[in-house]
Amino acid sequence: MKNLLFNRRRFIKDSSTIAAGAALLSSFPTSSAAASGNASKIKFSVININHSHIYGMVDAVTRGGGELVSFYAKEPDLVQAFAKKYPQAKLARNQKEILEDKSVQLILSSGIPVERAPLGIEVMKHGKDYLVDKPGITSLEQLAEVRHVQKETQRIYTIMYSERLENKATVKAGELVKAGAIGNVIQTIGMGPHRMNIKSRPEWFFDKKYFGGIITDIGSHQFDQFLFFTGSTKADIVCSQVGNVHYPQYPGFEDFGDVTVKGDKGTGYIRVDWFTPDGLKSWGDGRLTILGTDGYIELRKNIDIAGHEGGNHLFLVNQKETIYMDCNKDPLPFGEQFVNDVINRTETAMTQAHCFLATELALKAQQHAQKLEFKK
Helix/strand/coil for 39? coil
Asked whether 222 and 272 are in contact (CB, 8 A), the reply is yes
User: What values do phi and psi take at 272, rounded to 5?
Assistant: -130, 150
In a domain, 341, yes or no: no
Residue 344 lies in a domain: no
CATH of the domain at 72: 3.40.50.720
Domain co-membership, 105 together with 6: no
DSSP alpha helices (H): ranges in the chain?
Answer: 8-14, 16-26, 33-36, 53-63, 76-85, 95-99, 113-125, 140-153, 162-165, 168-178, 208-211, 214-217, 219-230, 334-344, 352-367
> Amino acid letter at 13?
K
Amino acid at 162: S
Q: Are residues 99 and 135 in the same domain?
A: yes
Do 363 and 205 contact (CB within 8 A), yes or no?
no
pLDDT 10s digits, 272-295: 999 999 999 999 999 999 999 999
Q: Is residue 352 part of a domain?
A: no
Listed residues 118, 143, 160: the one ending a domain: 160
Contact 60, 131 (CB under 8 A): no
Residues 195 and 89 in one domain: no
Query: Are 329 and 202 members of one domain?
Result: yes
Same structural domain, 226 and 287: yes
Residue 287 CA to residue 112 CA, distance in Å, equals 26
Q: Are residues 98 and 227 in the same domain?
A: no
**Residue 267: pLDDT above 90?**
yes
Angle between helices 113-125 and 140-153 (to 10 degrees): 20
- Backbone φ/ψ region at 141: left (φ over 0), alpha (ψ -120 to 50), beta: alpha
Domain presence at residue 348: no
Kindly state whether residues 57 and 186 are assigned to the same domain. no
Could you read off the pLDDT of 109-126 as tens digits, one per residue? Answer: 999 999 999 999 999 999
Average pLDDT over the chain reads: 91
Q: Residue 375's pLDDT band (boundaries 50, 70, 90)?
A: confident
User: Does one domain contain both 280 and 203?
Assistant: yes
- 195 in the same domain as 130: no
Residue 242 located in a structural domain: yes
Q: Which of the listed residues 160, 180, 209 is the one where a domain comes to its end?
A: 160
Q: Tell me, what CATH number does 273's domain have?
A: 3.30.360.10
**DSSP 8-state secondary structure symbol assigned to residue 65:** T
99 and 85, same structural domain? yes
Q: Which of 94, 127, 160 is the last residue of a domain?
A: 160
Half-sphere exposure of 200 (CA within 13 A, CB side): 6
Which residue range is the domain that position 251 belongs to?
2-29+164-333+364-372
Q: Tell me: pLDDT of 145 over 70.
A: yes
Regarding whether 168 and 119 lie in a shared domain, the answer is no
Q: Give the CA angle between residues 67, 84, 333 to the nearest 5°.
A: 40
Query: What domain count does the chain have?
Result: 2
Q: Are 212 and 280 contained in the same domain?
A: yes
pTM, two decimal places: 0.89
